[in-house]
Every structure is written in C-alpha cells, then in structure tokens.
C-alpha cells in the first residue's frame, strides 16, 4: 500500500542523500550550495507527491437521515400468525446436501405437534412425492417453543420448480422453490447478500428492496445475526417467532444459507441458560454433515458454479481445534475447474475501518488468511458492523513478531472483503469511521441495504450494493469481479 511505498521511497532518498553528501565534499563551494538547494527541492516534491498519494478509497458522501432504527410493533402485519388451527408458520428452506439435489424444509406449529410430512412435486395440482420429517421443541428460561418440524426432500432434479405442502391433519399451506442448476464451471447464478437483519422498520425496507431488486437473487447468503431476540429482556424468544414469520415471505421460497453471528449465541447463565446457540440450532438446520463438519457452525455447499464455505467467528478456530482441522482439509477439496467461484461467509469482518467491533476478527485473520491467499478465495462476506464496506484485494500474511511487516499490501491472490452487516436492526447504524480511511478500504458508507453477487460465467461476476434510500434498481456501489482462479488479473475500477 502507499504508506509502505512511501517508506521505501524515503529510504531510497536517504541513500541518495548520503551518496550525494559523500560526493559533495569534493565540489567547489558554489556548486555545493546550489546542489543543496536542488536536493531540498527534490525532497519537497517527493514528499508532496507521497502526501497526495497517501490516502484510502472512497467514503460515500451520502448522508442518511439521522433517525433511530425502531422495531416494528408486535401487531404489524409482517408478524401475522397464519389463519387456521395449528397452521404452519415460520416456514423456511435451505439446501439439504452438498450439490443442490436436496432441500431441508422447516416450520413451526404452535398448538400441537401435528404432522411432519411434506408432499411435493413439479405440478401444483399433483404433489406426487412424500417425505416424513421429525419434530423437536426447546425451552429457554420461561419460554417454551412451538413444535419445530424439519423434513429433507431428496433426489430432486436440478433447475426444476417444485411445489410443496405442509400442515397435514389440520391447516395446510403450500409454497414452492426452484432447485439450482447442476454444478458446473460456467453456470450463471445470482446470490443475494443480507446481514444483521433484525426486525425493525429498516429491516422491512431491506427485505422489500431485496425482493423488488430487478436483479433477482435466487439464494440468500446470510452473514449472521437474525432475530436479535437477545436484545430483549431475558432473551425474549417470542422475538424468534416474530422474526421467523417476518422473513417467511422469502425464506419459504428460496434457500437462505445461514451463518451464526454473536446474536445467535444466546448464552445467559444469569437466567440459567448455559447452552450456547440453543434457539438457533433448533430452528435453523444446515447441511453440515454433507461436508464432513461435526457441527452446524461451519460447513460448505456447492451451488451452480460457486463453492461456499461458512465459518464460525464464535467457535474455537485456533490450531488443532475442530474448525481449524476441518478447514485445513476443506480447502484442498475445492475443485476450481468444477466450481471456479470460491466464496467465504463469516460474521466478524477481518478488514473493517469503522470504530465498531474494530479488529475483533484479527486473531481469526492471523490463523486463516494465508489459506485464503493460497487457495485464491474470490470474495469474503461478513456482517457484525452495521454499515457497508468493500476492500481492495489485500493481504497481511508476511508479519511475524520480529520482522515488523504488519501492513496490508495489495495482493492479486487475495479476496475482496465485503462487510454487509447493514440489514437494519434496532441497534442502528455504525457511523463512526476510523480516519484517515485506510488504504485497504475501497468504499464505505453508513447506510442500510443489501447486495447481489451475479455470477455470469467462470471468469466474471457482477457485484452491486443497494442502499435502502434509493429506488429498487439503483446501484450505490458496484464492481466487476475477475475470478481469481480462471482470470486472475486486476479488475477494472469499481464504480460508486
């Protein structure tokens, strides 16, 4: 980065000055005086040039109206309980295997367990297939959950629209989803990106903007912090129910790939709750066993031309830990000739220039960043910071405790790091930025919004971030991605 180059320039100038000083002694007095003036002027020009170049990327000039994020009232229509006795609610789906030939369907019945059966098929009028699921329930402090169902639909055809129905024996409800294309290197596919959503009025704007975006996302990559139930007294788990009903309008029709955030930990020994992630793991299953993981907090899937790795910022990640050993074995499995796009999801960002959660991801970065560079990860999406930021391609892998090489440097093999924890939760926006803007930071803005990552083929993908304050089609920050494995060259300048 520029500051490193400035240091190198400075050291070069010192060496030039020393060499000149040795030569100067042999010159006549008049020439020595003129030479000294020239040397001072030369130094001045270089330092001015360094000062002009020594800056980061762009901090958006857009200023969002200063207003607090307010949670929607419990009687809001987005929280409405479906009509009918024991009607299924909080319906959501996720990919159920490694390659996209299975889907896990989850829902809640409130009055009694009812049936865990799912009927499904390619015709809305004739649901010719059937699958049986399981039901579970949990308690948290004084709260007892409804009956949580999950059922896996297997041997699905790729790129096919399926209809499915749940709630048999009482009130049934019908939904649909489309399976992804068969995994392959040139398969186009569009992902949506949402993080730190919550259930405020701003959250509703974010979800609406995602739904209305003319670039239609087919799967949401969700980077953690779902309901924010833990922000309420005694981790009020009713807020898990309201959030599930709020997002059902999307989650029942397309997969959301879940990442666990800090607001999913729900560790509250002061009220006797000492099992972390209890509500999250009961409500939101993920296909972790398909990728050889031993826990739902880190796993991987293939979808179209992308290989997606989900990591856990709040599980042990040091050397010899289960997550470390899994990721060490996982990266070599990625066949970039089959899935050229390598995407990583996590909650806590590694490169963050806001004064919120600053450097919280640093120890994880030290452990895993060399692998990200070695295996040429294309992009890393994170949340946690309630704002938006996109980095340059940088890495900081040369440092050890004696060499002093502790600055991020441009690295074409490194991923772009994108923080998209701007879903709209009641905690509000992160507005306090570090100054000056670091050189690794390409673009940052304190606004709520969402993004899309639109894969065109094995070499190119188009990324766009949308702020809530704009029209549905307006792109506030964009970038053409050149695949690191198939087309590892410098991308064109991003437009913002």
Q: Which residues does the annotation mark as catalytic?
A: 357
Collapsed DSSP state (helix, strand, coil) of residue 348: coil
What span, in angstroms and rounded, lies between the C-alpha atoms of 282 and 279?
Answer: 5
Cα-only R_g, the chain? 26
| Cα within 13 Å of Cα(93), Cβ side | 28
**Bridge partners for 453 per DSSP:** 191, 463
Question: CA end-to-end span of the chain, whole Å?
Answer: 21
Collapsed DSSP state (helix, strand, coil) of residue 238: helix
| Number of neighbouring beta carbons within 10 Å of residue 230 | 20
| Cα within 13 Å of Cα(9), Cβ side | 18
| Cα within 13 Å of Cα(183), Cβ side | 19
**Contact yes or no for 381/261 (Cβ under 8 A):** no
Collapsed DSSP state (helix, strand, coil) of residue 411: coil
What span, in angstroms and rounded, lies between the C-alpha atoms of 191 and 193?
Answer: 7
**Contact yes or no for 235/141 (Cβ under 8 A):** yes
Helix, strand, coil % over all residues of the chain, rounded to 5: 25, 25, 50
Q: Which of 103, 102, 129 is nearest to 118 (CA)?
A: 129
What span, in angstroms and rounded, lies between the C-alpha atoms of 326 and 117?
Answer: 34
The β-bridge relationship of strands 460-467 and 379-382 is unpaired
The β-bridge relationship of strands 161-166 and 441-445 is unpaired
Cα distances (Å, whole numbers) of residue 289 to 63, 94, 297, 307: 45, 14, 11, 16
What span, in angstroms and rounded, lies between the C-alpha atoms of 2 and 119?
Answer: 60
Contacts of 445 (CB under 8 A, 6+ apart): 59, 60, 62, 387, 388, 389, 467, 476, 477
Collapsed DSSP state (helix, strand, coil) of residue 148: strand
Cα distances (Å, whole numbers) of residue 233 to 75, 202, 237: 19, 22, 10
What span, in angstroms and rounded, lies between the C-alpha atoms of 329 and 321?
Answer: 13
């Amino acid at each position: 980065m520029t500051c490193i180059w400035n240091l190198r320039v400075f050291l070069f100038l010192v060496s030039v000055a020393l060499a000149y000083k040795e030569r100067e002694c042999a010159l006549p007095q008049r020439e020595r005086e003129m030479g000294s003036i020239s040397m001072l002027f030369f130094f001045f020009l270089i330092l001015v040039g360094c000062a002009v170049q020594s800056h980061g990327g762009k901090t958006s000039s857009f200023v969002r109206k200063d207003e607090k994020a307010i949670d929607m009232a419990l009687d809001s229509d987005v929280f409405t309980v479906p009509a009918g006795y024991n009607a299924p609610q909080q319906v959501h789906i996720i990919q159920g295997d490694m390659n996209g030939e299975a889907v896990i369907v989850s829902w809640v019945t409130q009055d009694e367990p009812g049936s865990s059966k799912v009927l499904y098929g390619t015709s809305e009028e004739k649901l010719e297939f059937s699958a049986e699921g399981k039901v579970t329930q949990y308690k948290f402090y004084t709260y007892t959950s409804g009956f949580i169902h999950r059922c896996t639909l297997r041997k699905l055809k790729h790129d096919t629209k399926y209809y499915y129905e749940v709630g048999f024996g009482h009130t049934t409800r019908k939904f649909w989803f489309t399976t992804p294309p068969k995994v392959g290197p040139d398969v186009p596919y569009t992902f949506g990106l949402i993080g730190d959503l919550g259930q405020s009025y701003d959250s509703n704007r974010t979800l609406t903007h995602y739904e209305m975006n003319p670039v239609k996302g087919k799967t949401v990559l969700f980077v953690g912090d779902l309901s924010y139930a833990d922000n309420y007294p005694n981790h009020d788990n009713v807020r898990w129910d309201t959030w599930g009903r709020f997002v059902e309008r999307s989650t029942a029709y397309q997969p959301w790939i879940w990442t666990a955030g800090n607001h999913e930990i729900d560790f509250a020994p002061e009220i006797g709750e000492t099992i972390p992630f209890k509500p999250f793991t009961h409500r939101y299953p993920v296909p972790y066993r398909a990728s050889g993981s031993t826990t739902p907090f880190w796993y991987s899937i293939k979808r179209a031309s992308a290989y997606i790795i989900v990591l856990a910022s709040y599980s042990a990640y040091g050397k010899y830990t289960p997550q470390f050993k899994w990721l060490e074995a996982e990266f070599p499995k990625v066949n970039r000739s089959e899935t050229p796009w390598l995407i990583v999801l996590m909650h806590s960002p590694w490169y963050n220039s806001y004064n919120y959660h600053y450097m919280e991801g640093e120890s994880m970065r030290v452990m895993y960043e060399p692998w990200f560079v070695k295996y040429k990860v294309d992009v890393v999406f994170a949340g946690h910071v309630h704002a938006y930021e996109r980095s340059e391609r940088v890495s900081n892998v040369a440092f050890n405790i004696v060499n002093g090489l502790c600055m991020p440097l441009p690295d074409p093999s490194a991923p772009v790091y994108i923080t998209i924890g701007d879903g709209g939760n009641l905690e509000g926006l992160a507005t306090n930025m570090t100054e000056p803007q670091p050189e690794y930071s390409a673009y940052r803005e304190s606004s709520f919004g969402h993004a899309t990552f639109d894969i065109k083929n094995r070499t190119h993908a188009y990324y766009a971030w949308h702020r809530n304050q704009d029209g549905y089609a307006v792109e506030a920050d964009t970038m053409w991605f050149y695949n690191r494995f198939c087309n590892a060259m410098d991308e064109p300048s991003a437009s913002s």
